[in-house]
């Protein structure tokens, strides 16, 4: 974290918020699949959508905080520069999240017919 300054990010974990949210969402969906009765499994779609929208909002916030508009090249580095968070990566994360949201919106009827059990696993993946 050599170029990470506390003034630029409120927390060193802030730029990792989209990944953290997606991991938490996957775990939440798996747990909800175990505890939600079969007739109420439709709530899993809503939980997945809310989580994906939260991750999308986090990506947009990180992208705005990195100074894409001002051209600030101060990108944080993690894990000996194996994980780099820059505007290119964030734009592709946003594109992938939008595609995932669209696929999720298109698939509830398919998922209900195809999966008799494990619907939460489908949404978690």
- Give residue-wise pLDDT tens across range 28-76: 999 999 998 888 888 899 999 999 999 999 988 888 877 654 554 555 6
Nearest CA among 21, 31, 27 for reference residue 51 = 21
Which alpha helices (H) appear in the chain, and where do they start and end? 17-35, 43-65, 87-106, 108-114, 119-124
Is 0.75 topped by the overall pTM?
Answer: yes
Q: What is the pLDDT of residue 49?
A: 95
Averaged pLDDT for residues 93-119: 88
Cα 115 to Cα 3: distance, rounded to the nearest angstrom: 47
């Amino acid at each position: 974290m050599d170029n990470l300054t506390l003034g630029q990010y409120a927390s060193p974990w802030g730029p990792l918020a989209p990944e953290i949210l997606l991991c938490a969402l996957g775990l939440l969906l798996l747990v909800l699949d175990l505890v939600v009765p079969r007739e109420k499994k439709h709530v899993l779609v809503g939980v997945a959508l809310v989580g994906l929208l939260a991750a999308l909002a986090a990506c947009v916030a990180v992208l705005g905080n990195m100074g894409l508009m001002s051209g600030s090249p101060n990108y944080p580095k993690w894990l000996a520069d194996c994980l780099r968070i820059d505007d290119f990566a964030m734009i592709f994360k946003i594109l992938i999240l939008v595609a995932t949201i669209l696929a999720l919106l298109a698939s509830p009827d398919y998922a209900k017919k195809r999966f008799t059990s494990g619907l939460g696993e489908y949404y978690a993946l």
